Amino acid sequence: MQVREFQHLIAQTYFEKDRARGLPATFAWFVEEVGELARAMREGSAAGMAEEFADVLAWLSTMASICGVDLERAAAKYADGCPKCGGRPCRCP
């Protein structure tokens, strides 16, 4: 699945509810999911981490949609490597 497809899927599923909640409250849910991801990483559960990464990505996607940002276009910032040095891997000090 491409980033744009994922963002569209999440928008179809949650956009109206998330937009009605508003960006500040949606951001709070996102931060809560980041906390759950941190906990899963500390516990070292691969399944738990995968689930929480998916949740974080979904909440990030819905916030981008609320803000009118195309995540696939935004991600293109990194298409040529590090945006500062152009390296792959990054050679920035």
* Helix, strand, coil percentages for the chain (3-state, nearest 5): 75, 0, 25
Contact 30, 63 (CB under 8 A): yes
| Span 26-56, pLDDT tens digits | 999 999 999 999 999 999 999 999 999 999 9
pTM value?
0.89
Domain ranges of the chain: 3-78
| Span 67-87, pLDDT tens digits | 999 999 999 999 999 999 999
Task: Give which of 11, 16, 6 is closest to 57, Cα–Cα.
Answer: 6
Residue 88: pLDDT band (50, 70, 90) is: very high
Please say whether the structural domain 3-78 has been given the CATH code 1.10.287.1080. Answer: yes
Q: So what's the pLDDT on residue 55?
A: 97
Which residues, 6+ apart, have CB-to-CB distance to 49 below 8 Å? 37, 40, 41
